[in-house]
Structure 1
């Protein structure tokens, strides 16, 4: 199998789905978008569902690598959390089509259980990091899922604003303000700023 052709099909799927929506995707449109014969698309994928699941898994894998780039668990928790937030923003600012796809279809019934479980590769380490912070009283004593959403919810909102050309999320000052606000939303009130 030619991986370049397979990647071309996945890239074309991403563009087509983000432009027209998942439910307008069919193999004929996809083949045309990729500049391939329809039969060629079927050599690599047996259905649009298979393509969508493989595309989702590819995006999650690449996002996971980006988020955990230079990850060092021995760093102070705040430094680690902000580095991961910065990596997430950098990943999706560089790949806005990835963000749009995950945001629109991350909970779609078209995704197979195995595809949805790929997301756990990102969520599980974050959950463990939050639990560690709670155990050391560095983070608020709130449910982990709430802390996780408090920390990344504003980032998701700002990424949406970036995609809609409402903010310049490449601005480092703006990023710093965003990450500090996210941190403050989860940090324990009596944390020593030097230890966090």
Structure 2
């Protein structure tokens, strides 16, 4: 039951992240839209985000989390690979790039929920740009 709940939340996150994404958009524009969608999801779905974060950091993840859920985030993995092929992104391991992108967002989201950080238009723009700068070639 816990695994099913986790997969359901993961599907909601994935659907939110990739809303409005179209391949003809340049890599950077798709990156910015995905990140903006992800931040918006976090801000509008506190319970799901915090559950997802706790579950991912729990020892239960090893017993319940299966690789089949990673397919939900394939569009982002493909975007990273496309960016590397176009020499727009660093030629690092994809998982390393994803950590450089996601970690600041998730940490600031936790600070936001503790009322230690404000997600205003300027901060969101700066965060997305910083994430891009961390991985760009």
Does residue 112 of the first structure (1) align with residue 61 of the second (2)?
no
Do the aligned residues in 1 keep the contact of 2:17 with 2:35 (CA within 8 Å)?
Answer: yes
Correspondent of 1:132 among 65, 68, 82: 82
Correspondent of 1:178 among 123, 127, 130: 127
Deviation for aligned residue 1:84:
0.3
Does residue 64 of the first structure (1) align with residue 14 of the second (2)?
yes
Where in structure 2 are the equivalents of 1:39-188 lying within 5 Å? 50=1, 52-108=2-58, 109=60, 112-114=64-66, 117-122=68-73, 124-169=74-119, 171-188=120-137
Deviation for aligned residue 1:55:
1.5
Q: How many residues align?
A: 135
Alignment CA distance shift 1:106-1:117 (3 Å): farther
Deviation for aligned residue 1:107:
4.8
Moved more, 136-145 or 172-181: 136-145
1:86-128, Cα deviation, whole Å (9 max, x unpaired):
10010111011111111111254265244x5324311x22111
Name the structure 2 match of 1:28: none
Cα distance between partner residues in 2 of 1:53 and 1:89:
24
Do the aligned residues in 2 keep the contact of 1:60 with 1:119 (CA within 8 Å)?
Answer: no
Alignment CA distance shift 1:113-1:161 (3 Å): closer
Q: TM-score, normalised by structure 2?
A: 0.90
Cα distance between partner residues in 2 of 1:138 and 1:186:
9
Cα distance between partner residues in 2 of 1:138 and 1:153:
20
Partner secondary structure for residue 97 of structure 1: helix
Q: TM-score, normalised by structure 1?
A: 0.64
Cα distance between partner residues in 2 of 1:149 and 1:90:
19
| Structure number with bigger Rg | 1
Computed over aligned residues only, the root mean square deviation of the Cα atoms, in angstroms, reads 1.6
Partner secondary structure for residue 42 of structure 2: helix
